[in-house]
Structures are given as structure tokens and as C-alpha cells.
Chain A
Amino acid sequence: MKNILELRDVSMVYGSVKALRNITLSIQQGEWTAIMGSSGSGKTTLMNIVGCMNKPTHGSVILDGEKISRLDAKDLTVIRRDKIGLIFQEFHLISYLTAVENVMIAQYYHSMADEEEAMQALERVGMGHRAGHLPRQLSGGEQQRLCIARALINHPKLVLADEPTGNLDESNQAVIMDIFHQLHSAGSTIIVVTHSPEVAEHARRIVQLEFGRMIKDGATARCMVA
């Protein structure tokens, strides 16, 4: 299986603070990885670098065969648009667009808005009946499912989720994780950044960070059972 993501000796320094220290990590296509760590461990910094929203101060990042660590902001935007699907803890939906329009806006920035395809994406996450609703009319779980539909609409090489169940109750958490399992079964590469061991256990691999260092990289219990 080919590597979809490679980090080689990646470090990130903010002033005198070393947020990441010499991280070397490879993620294969179709792999579901959980990046764990407590607050301040560097997991959000790592996610921003992998998500092309920040550049490392040292080291190289290769995404789908392309070295992205030295690209300028404009080129990073193109990479983000074409290869990455982002899922946020706070959903970050556009308040004045309906559910289907929130999906279509990702298509619009990528290439061409297609309402039919956007509706199919909503159907896949069980949100077809809520297509015409504004985000404020949706529950937290529905908003997160909408966020997932938006992340998947452009068929990204890598799905990057930051605390995807952080704002959800247990039943909605189960629904979201179920969707992640379906995505993984369909061959999507998923990186979930979380501080929750329960969420991380759904993945096949766990990378543990502490004070910017990678202290653990191994298979989850679920993977071993499988």
C-alpha cells in the first residue's frame, strides 16, 4: 500500500515555544489513524500542518507524492481544496447557507457546484431530509454529519477530522463514528485528532503526542482483534 502522507523530521517553533519536535510519520492510503494527546501536546499544530493551513519551520511534508512543506499560501490552498477534506469540532458551517448549499460551496471552490451530487452526499450521512435547513435549525449531530458530507464531496485523498465528536453527546458520537467506519470500509484515508481514548480506539492506529514529541505509534486493540 502506498504512503499518502509522509512527515520527515518535522518541527514547528512559535517564538521560543517548540510545538512539534522532529516528527517522522508515514500514513498509508486507506489507513485510519488517531492522533492523540493532551492539550498542548502539539496535535492541533500537526493537524494544521497536514491540513496545509500552516508550514513547518523544519522538515518536510509529502502529501500524495507532492512536497507541500515549502509551498506558498496560494499553492497550499489548491492542495487543501483538491486533496483534503476537513471536519471540525465546532462544525464551522456557513450560517446563511442551507445544508445543501453548505455542501455545494465546497464544490464551488473546488470546481463546479452540483446540487444533485450534494444531495447524494447528504443522503449518505442521513441528512437528505434536512437539505433546506439552515445550520441553526440543525442539532449538533446533524451539523457534524453535514460537516462530514461537505468534507467528502470533492473525494479527498485524506479526511482530516479535529475532535469530530468533541461537541456531541454519546448517541450522536456513535452515529458519527459509524459514518467513519463506513468511510474507512470504502477505502478513505482518515486522520482523527482527538484527546478521547474511546474515539481513538475506533481507529486502526494510534499516534500519541506529548509536549510536541511522538511518544507512541502503534495499532489499536480493535486492529489487533481484527
Chain B
Amino acid sequence: MTRYRMYTKIVLSSLLRRRSRMTLALAAVITGSTVFLGMGAVYFDIPRQMGREFRSYGANLILVPSGDNAALRPEDIRKVKELLPADKVVGMAPFRYETLYYNRQGLTVAGTDMDAARKSGPFRQVQGEWPKADNQVLIGTDIAEQTRLYTGTSITLEAVPPKSRRIKKEFTVSGVIRTGGPEDGFVLMPLGGLEALLGSPGRADTVEISIAAGSAEITRLAEQIRAEVPGIAPRPVKRIMNSESTVLNKLQVLVYLVTAVVLLLTMICVGTTMMTVVMERRKEIGLKKALGAENKSIIKEFLGEGMVLACAGGLLGSVSGYFFAQVVSMSVFGREVSLPFFLIVLTLSASLLVTLSASLVPVARATDVEPASALRGE
């Protein structure tokens, strides 16, 4: 029998035939690995998960005309659309602002792509329905109060294009919009309806973009747009980006701290168990030394037991950690979490590192055992 086979037999027999004590250490390693992998998965997935959550705050990138340009050109908007990662764009809504008159009172009217505006600004609350046709409009809650118009009534808007006659058109109020911002004093209508009234199709004053990306990526995209589409000045919405970064950083620090505390507790539990095991096995260590075992043999055997414990605990912990991560992600974010393979390798490495570190002091104690006194039971 090779020395390696005998060594393996000693290590495995020691673990398998004295299960009761080592089960406690194994349970500690499994718990530590479960939390490490579970929290790790959540940690790496938080930006993706929270990125979607943050989109409810509205657009995080605004496009406005650069320099002396009065408006955004349709071809420039198309170029920007090509530059953006399609899978991360939640909504991209062009806005054209004009002044129209109702009973000779000037109102700001915003023409937009209604579907895109709903996606880029989920904070827009509509009482009634979003417009489904070009002859329907939303009126801001402030306008509704002033004019006493409500859902289902008609509103006649009048335009005064330069050097031409007045244009009037009747619209149906499909709903009242409340945002808590300037749009409460606006009339929102489909871009097609506004273009039909005023002409100049494809023109936009701003574009609201909501992207599921971190501040670094948005800043990079803005730089790219600035460089490649000179007619457009991209403006990241720093207030939202900074809020996202702050919340993400705090969440990640929280996860980091919880994981560190659990790993520390695991180390203490494994270390305490290993120390108890060494104390309980003083006679055995003394006997092995009496039979001629050198300190390095004793160290190898205890560290071998630690390694088996770490690998078994790490693997079992990875499996339970995956389910733990799913439970956490489903209950907090309502979505499944993805598990990168490197996290399993990282969990096994952490498990080995923690278990072996926790074993160092007990193993050092094992080498201090004197065979004569240990065999006498002292």
C-alpha cells in the first residue's frame, strides 16, 4: 500500500468513524459556505437586480440638442439608438414641447411616444387611460383643477404657427396625469397628434432614456454619444445615478459585512471544534508519536481532516447556498438570481482558507503533545 493510500485511509477513517464530533464542524462549514455563496450571488447580482428596480425612478440619461441646434434631428436620434445596448434600454421617449392655447390661455403641450414614456417614467400616474389614438390627450393635474376638465371631456387646443392662420383641433381627455413635477402643468399627447397639428415630423426637443446600467456605464455611454453624434448633448441624470450608486454601495457593503461576520463565526466554530478534537485525541496523538510519527505527520493528518471537511462542507454549502440565494433574491427582488461558476470555486477556496486557518492553532497544540504524559492521560 502506498503512503498516500494509507494517509487517505487514516484521514477518512478518522472522519467517518468518529462522526459525532466532526458533524458539528461540518455543519459550521456548510453554514458558512451557504451564506458565502448565497450572499456572493446576491452581491454580484445586486447591480443587475437593483438596476431594474431603480428604473422606476425615471430616465437616467437625457438627450438635448448641442450647441446652436434648436432641436434634435431624427437621424441623430437613430444613431444614438444604435449606440445603446438594446437589452438594457428600458424606455426611450422623444419629447417635443410646444405652446398651444385653450380659451386663449397658453398651455405647454408635450408630444411623445406614449408607450416609451410609460416605460421611461413609471412614476407618471394616470387617472383614466393613456392615450391610444392621436386625438386623445392627458392633462396635468394642475390643469385639470384650473379648467375643471376631467376624463372623457373634450378640450379644444389652438395653435398659432408663424405666418399662417390659426389651427384648432378638438381632443378627448383620456386621463389626468400626476407626476409631482412640472408635467402636472402640461398637456401630454401622442407625438403623431402634435405633428399632425403643427407639421415638422420627426423633430424632438429632448429624449428621455431609461437604461438598466450603473453610473460608470452611463457615463461611458454619454461620452461615446458626445464623441460620435455631435448634434446631441447627452446629460446623465446625476441625481438618480448618484442615488443608485449610494444605495448599491451600501447594499454591497452590508452583504460584505454579513458574509465577513458569518465567515468569522464559522472560523471560530471550526477552530473551537478542532481544538476540542485535539484535546480529546491527546492520547491518540501521544500514541502516534510513540509509534514514531513526526510532527509533520501529525500536522498533515489534522490538516488533511480539515481539508476533507472544507471540501465536503464547501460543496454541500454551494448547493444549499444556491437555494439560499434564490430564496433571498425572490423575496427581496422578486426575481431569480444567476450563479456564476467562479463563485463556486471562490466558495470552495474560502471554505478551505477558513477551515485551514481555524485549524492552525489546534494543530500547533497537537504538535506540543508529549507522548509519555499523553499516554498516562495527563
* Residues of chain A at the chain B interface (Cβ within 8 Å): 44, 48, 51, 53-54, 74, 77-78, 80-82, 86, 88, 90, 92, 94-97, 101, 104-106, 108-110, 112-115, 134, 150
CA distance A92 to B5 in the complex (A): 23
CA distance A44 to B289 in the complex (A): 18
Q: Are A109 and B375 in contact (CB under 8 A)?
A: no
Q: Are A106 and B291 in contact (CB under 8 A)?
A: yes
Instruction: Jot down 18 A-B pairs with beta carbons below 8 A, ordered by A.
Output: A48-B372, A51-B290, A51-B372, A53-B371, A74-B294, A77-B289, A77-B293, A77-B294, A78-B292, A78-B294, A82-B292, A88-B375, A97-B9, A106-B291, A108-B7, A108-B10, A112-B3, A113-B1
Q: Are B10 and A97 in contact (CB under 8 A)?
A: yes
CA distance A108 to B6 in the complex (A): 7
Give the Cβ gap from A17 to chain B, nearest Cβ, in Å: 15
Q: For the complex of A and B, list the 3 residue pairs with the smallest distance between their C-beta atoms, beginning with the closest.
A: A81-B292, A96-B17, A53-B372
Q: With A54-B372, A108-B6 given, is the CB distance from A94 to B292 under 8 Å?
A: no
Give the Cβ gap from B309 to chain A, nearest Cβ, in Å: 15
Give the Cβ gap from A98 to chain B, nearest Cβ, in Å: 8
Q: Which of B10, B17, B371 contacts A134 (CB 8 A)?
A: B17
CA distance A92 to B284 in the complex (A): 8
Q: Which of A101, A106, A113, A134 contacts B292 (CB 8 A)?
A: A106
CA distance A115 to B371 in the complex (A): 26
Give the Cβ gap from A166 to chain B, nearest Cβ, in Å: 14
**B297 at interface (Cβ–Cβ under 8 A)?**
yes
Q: B7 — nearest CB in chain A belongs to which residue?
A: A108
* Residues of chain B at the chain A interface (Cβ within 8 Å): 1-3, 5-7, 9-10, 13-14, 16-18, 283-284, 287-295, 297, 370-372, 375-376
Give the Cβ gap from A10 to chain B, nearest Cβ, in Å: 16
CA distance A11 to B2 in the complex (A): 43
Q: B371 — nearest CB in chain A belongs to which residue?
A: A53
The SS class assigned to the B binding surface is helix
Q: Are B290 and A108 in contact (CB under 8 A)?
A: no
Q: Which residues of B contact A134 (CB under 8 A)?
A: 17
CA distance A54 to B376 in the complex (A): 13
Q: With A96-B13, A96-B18 given, is the CB distance from A110 to B292 under 8 Å?
A: yes
Q: With A53-B371, A94-B284, A108-B3 given, is the CB distance from A86 to B17 under 8 Å?
A: no
Give the Cβ gap from A15 to chain B, nearest Cβ, in Å: 15
Give the Cβ gap from A9 to chain B, nearest Cβ, in Å: 21
Give the Cβ gap from A24 to chain B, nearest Cβ, in Å: 22
Q: Are A105 and B10 in contact (CB under 8 A)?
A: yes
Q: Which residues of A contact B6 (CB under 8 A)?
A: 104-105, 108, 113
CA distance A150 to B18 in the complex (A): 22
Q: B5 — nearest CB in chain A belongs to which residue?
A: A113
Q: Which of A86, A104, A110 contacts B290 (CB 8 A)?
A: A86
Q: Are A115 and B1 in contact (CB under 8 A)?
A: yes
Q: Which residues of A contact B1 (CB under 8 A)?
A: 104, 112-115
Q: Are B3 and A113 in contact (CB under 8 A)?
A: yes
Q: B18 — nearest CB in chain A belongs to which residue?
A: A96
Q: Are A109 and B297 in contact (CB under 8 A)?
A: yes
CA distance A109 to B9 in the complex (A): 14
Q: Are A105 and B291 in contact (CB under 8 A)?
A: yes
CA distance A46 to B289 in the complex (A): 18
CA distance A199 to B372 in the complex (A): 23
Q: Which residues of B contact A109 (CB under 8 A)?
A: 288, 291-294, 297
CA distance A96 to B280 in the complex (A): 14
Q: A54 — nearest CB in chain B belongs to which residue?
A: B372
Q: Which of B2, B284, B290 contacts A53 (CB 8 A)?
A: B290
Q: Are A92 and B292 in contact (CB under 8 A)?
A: no
CA distance A168 to B225 in the complex (A): 92
Give the Cβ gap from B189 to chain A, nearest Cβ, in Å: 82
Q: Which residues of A contact B284 (CB under 8 A)?
A: 94-95
CA distance A182 to B370 in the complex (A): 32
Q: Which residues of A contact B375 (CB under 8 A)?
A: 88, 90, 92
Given contacts A94-B284, A96-B16, A105-B6, 12 further A-B contacts (CB under 8 A): A48-B372, A94-B287, A95-B18, A96-B14, A97-B13, A101-B13, A104-B1, A105-B10, A106-B291, A109-B294, A110-B292, A134-B17
Q: With A48-B372, A92-B375, A112-B3 given, is the CB distance from A105 to B18 under 8 Å?
A: no
Q: Which residues of B contact A77 (CB under 8 A)?
A: 289, 292-294
